[in-house]
Amino acid sequence: MKVLLIKDVYKLGRAGEIKKVADGYGRNYLIPQGLALPATESSVKLAEAIGHKASERRAVLNTELKGLAEILSSLQLEFPVKASETGKLYGSVTSQMVAEQVKELKGIELDRRQIELEPIRALGEYEVPVHLTMDLVPMLQVIVRREGEASKARPAKAAEAAEQVSEEAPAVETEENAGA
């Protein structure tokens, strides 16, 4: 079945595109959810207009969420968990747990489906993509460490920026002293 996408659909296409999908997927999910229309001659004529409006909406949404993306990309989440001697976890760290910790730390509510993460089952550091829009995908840093061990967290980007500013400050002072 061919459908005209009305809205962007992750892993399928952008609004205004005509896609061939399985009959059941189109009839039972895309059309009832308001994500697509059956691709008829009249709806094909609408495709360009829908695509143009969607690209304008997408640009506005990307500019609105850019600040949120910067916050998320600088965020470092730590999960102390129980693990075996070999580093295998007793349980796992899931996208739901990541979403809850982001809400707890920053007050940002994310849907677990926006976080592209297979359950983590081993100790280590992971880069986890968060799909805010199709074009805007910040990476969260997730550190999974053994419960009771000291944190091996790297300094946050803000702390690194503060160090750079403090290193540049004496150079500014010497230039002022040289001019006096």
Q: Residue 80: which residues within 8 A CB-CB, separation 6 or more?
A: 145, 146, 147, 148, 149
pLDDT of 11 higher than 80: yes
* In the chain, domain spans: 2-64, 75-153
H-helix or E-strand containing 143? strand 139-146
Mean pLDDT of 32-36: 93
Rg (CA), the chain: 23
Q: Full-prediction pTM beyond 0.75?
A: no
CATH number corresponding to 75-153: 3.10.430.100
- pLDDT band for 78, please (50, 70, 90 cuts): very high
Q: Which CATH superfamily is domain 2-64 in?
A: Ribosomal protein L9, N-terminal domain (3.40.5.10)
pLDDT recorded at residue 153:
52
Considering 53-57, 126-130, 148-152, the range whose residues carry the highest mean pLDDT is 126-130
Q: Using one digit for the tens of pLDDT, what is the confidence trace for 96-137? A: 999 999 999 988 898 888 899 899 999 999 999 998 888 888
Task: Give me the sheet containing 76-81, strands edge to edge.
Answer: 76-81, 139-146, 124-129
